[in-house]
Structure 1
Amino acid sequence: MDINQLLRIGAQLFSQSQANTTGLNETTITSALSRLFGGDSDGKGIDLQSIIQSLNGAGLANIAASWLGNGDNAAISATDIGNIFNADQLSNFANEVKLPQSEAITGLQETLPGMIDKASPNGDIAGELFQAVGGMDGLLNIASKIFGKK
C-alpha cells in the first residue's frame, strides 16, 4: 500500500462518515486529506511520523496504539482532533471540502482511526508506508514516541 492508496481509503471513509458529505467527490477529499497531513494535493510530502507524533503530543498514545494494533479502534473526540491539528489546518480542510468545520471534524473522527488501522494491518506498517517512515529505524522511532520509550 502506498500513501495514495491510503489517502483514497481515507476519502472513502470520510464519504461514508456521519458528516454531511453529499456532493463531495473522492478526489476533493483525497486532496484535502493530503494537505491536512502536510503534503501537496498529490500526496507528496506527507510525514506519517509527524502525524503519529501529533497524536502522542496530544496525549493520545493509547488511542494511536489501538489503531495500530489488531483489536478494536478506540474512538477519538472532536476535542482530540483539535489537539492534533491546529485551527488553521482544520479551517483549511473544512473550506477545501466545503463543509462547516464541525462537519469536517465529525468526518475526521471516523476517518483517522480507519486510515491508521489500514496502514498497519496486523499491527505492522504496510509496505511502501514502512519505507515512507524510514524503514525499521523510522518505525522504531514512531513506536518509541507512541509508547514513550527510547
Structure 2
Amino acid sequence: MDIAQLLQMGARLFSQSGANAGNLAQDDIVSALAGLLGGNADGSGIDLGAILESLNGAGLMDLAQSWLGDGENAPISTDQLGQVFGQDKLSGFANQLGMDQADAENGLTQAIPAMLDSASSGGNLLELAGGAEGILGMVSKLFGKS
C-alpha cells in the first residue's frame, strides 16, 4: 500500500468515524491528513519515521508498537494525539475541514492507528520509510543512536 492509498484509507475511516465528517469530500480529508502528517496535499513528503519519532518523544512507543505489529491496535486518546501532533497542527487540521477540533480529534483516533498499521503490513513500512537504510535510521533514532 503506497502513501496515497494510506491517505485514502485514513480519509475513509475518518469520515466513517462518527466525527461529523460524513459530509466532507474525500479529497479534502486526504489533503488535511497529508498536511497533518507533514506532507503536501498529494501525500508527498510524508515521513512516517518522523511520526514514529514523535510518538517516541511523547512516550507512546507502546502504542506505535501495537500498530506496527500484527496484533490488535491499542487505542490513542485525543490527549495523546495532542502530544504527538501538537495543538496547533490539530487545530489547523480541524479548521482546514471546517469542523470542531474535538470532532476532528475523535476521527483521528480511528484513522491514525489504522494508517500506521496498514503501512506496516507486509513490509510496506520498509518501502515507505526509504528501504532498509530508512528503517535502520529510524530505529537508531528511536533508540538514541543517531
Match of 2:2 in 1: 2
The 3-state SS of whatever aligns with 1:76 is coil
The 3-state SS of whatever aligns with 2:112 is helix
- Residue 87 of structure 1 and its aligned partner are, at CA, apart by 1.7
Deviation track 1:7-43 (CA, whole Å, cap 9, x = no partner) reads 0011011011131113111100000000111111111
TM-score, with normalisation over the residues of structure 1? 0.90
For structure 2, the 5+ residue unaligned runs are none
Match of 1:11 in 2: 11
Match of 1:62 in 2: 62
Task: Within 5 Å, give how 1:29-68 maps onto structure 2.
Answer: 29-68=29-68
- The alignment's C-alpha RMSD in Å is 1.5
Q: Which one of 121, 124, 135 corresponds to residue 131 of structure 2?
A: 135
Match of 2:102 in 1: 102
For structure 1, the 5+ residue unaligned runs are none
The 3-state SS of whatever aligns with 2:19 is coil
Question: Runs in 1 of length 4+ with deviation above 4 angstroms?
Answer: none
TM-score, with normalisation over the residues of structure 2? 0.92
Query: Structure 2 CA distance, aligned partners of 1:52 and 1:133?
Result: 11
Count of residue pairs the alignment pairs up? 145
Deviation track 1:106-143 (CA, whole Å, cap 9, x = no partner) reads 00111111000111115x3x1xx533312112112333
